[in-house]
Structure formats: C-alpha cells, structure tokens
Amino acid sequence: DLRVGTNKGHPTTPTEKAAKLSHRKGIWLPKQKLVQSIVHEVAGHVPCECRVMELLQNSKTTYIFHTIILHLGMLLHSKHKLEELSTIIAESRHAH
C-alpha cells in the first residue's frame, strides 16, 4: 500500500505496468534466428559482408573497421558484425 495525500491518509495500490516493447530491443527470438539463418543460406550475404569476409581472411583489420563502420554507421554495431562474420569464417573452416 502506498499512502497518498496531504496527510498520507488515502491508501492506493500501485498498478502493474506492461513492459515496453523498446526494452526488448536487440534481443533475438528463436524464430528470428531461424529465419535469419535460412535467408543467409538461400540468398547469401550482403556484398559488404562478403567483402569484409575476404578482408578477414587476408587479416587487414584496420581497413575492415573502416568498411564496416561506413556500412553500419556505429562502432558497436560494427564490432558485433565483425564477431558474427569471424564466427562464420571459423565454422566454414571447421566444416572443410
């Protein structure tokens, strides 16, 4: 109970607020992960991603960050994309 008023005499109960959709930003649901993997299998990667994967194989890191930041616009997003692409390359090496 929360007491409200000049003399704190009116009892009230706090209402439960529904969670905002914006609090879920950046969290991938299993269905979204599945759809994304199917799209990558069928359509392949974006040309920028293909270029970055080639650069990763040649280990030119400074130019890689420049290319990804130009494409995505934010340093944090580019770091996550770089991790994602490096794991894809590692998986393809283990597959062969």
Inside any domain, residue 73: yes
- Indicate whether 8 belongs to any domain: no
Residues 36-93: tens digit of each pLDDT: 889 988 998 888 889 888 888 887 777 888 888 888 888 888 888 889 889 988 988 8
Q: Is residue 69 part of a domain?
A: yes
Whichever domain contains 40, its CATH number is: 1.10.10.1760
68 occurs within a structural domain:
yes
Residue 1 belongs to a domain: no
Task: Count Cβ neighbours within 10 Å for each residue of 33-66 and write b for 16 or more, e otherwise.
Answer: eeeeeeeeeeeeeeeebebbbebbeeeeeeebbe
Q: Give domain status of residue 22, yes or no.
A: no
pTM for the model: 0.62
Query: Is 4 in a helix, a strand, or coil?
Result: strand
Number of structural domains in the chain: 1
Domain that holds residue 74: 27-95
Return the pLDDT at 45. 87
